[in-house]
Amino acid sequence: MSSPLTPAGQNDRAFATLRQFVRKRPTVECCEMCSTPLAGEHQHLIEPAARKIVCACDPCAILFSGQSVMKYKRIPRRIRALPEFQMTEAQWDGLMIPIEMAFFFKSGDPAKVNAFYPGPAGATESLLSLEMWSEIEAENPQLQEMEPEVEALVANRVGVGRGAAAQYFVVPIDECYKLVGLIRLHWHGLSGGTEVWREVGKFFTSLNERAENSSRKAHA
């Protein structure tokens, strides 16, 4: 016959039960404007001055739609694949990006374009030749439609030298931060390892599946 629990044993059992409950309790994201619980897929705002992404509910996000002088801007959800994007090897080299992947977005100043490339330490800014960017933009009018601060051109040229096709998309800026985050999370060793490139592949496959094909849309 087992002996009854001592008060200390009862406390241990109670704490064990509480820990189990806490582990099973789901984490719920909340709107950073009004604290309303959010679904897994939800709106984002950006604070351009700090380049900070903020989670928001639909009503709060709508308040910042089309506003150019407010602290926050609503990040759009559209993704556009650019299968006919034109860029020569010389033009890419002229952008002075040290790796084969980068994203570009316009700042509030219409004359400034920011270029970043992801890596194991996060996103690194690259000095951009505006003359070269202007040349690329002239050949690809879709870039003139990018909304400053909230949309970006993301270029994936990994493997182009080995015969792989380059991929170009105009995406919401939070997708670029997602790419940076997954590379930081999965990078191992000097070359990144198999896992990180598998995750990068999944990321671009997802973009392609969710994208509006600009070429097809233009000819519809």
Per-domain boundaries in the chain: 1-75, 80-219
Structural tokens at position 94: 């002229």
pLDDT of 130:
77
pTM: 0.80
- Residue 16: the pLDDT is 55
| Positions of the chain with pLDDT under 70 | 1-26, 66-69, 109-111, 213-220
Report the pLDDT value the prediction gives residue 58, as an integer from 0 to 100.
94
Q: What's the confidence (pLDDT) of residue 219?
A: 38
Q: CA 58 to CA 63: how far, in whole Å?
A: 9
The pLDDT value recorded for residue 50 is 87
Q: In whole angstroms, give the CA distance from residue 97 to residue 113.
A: 14
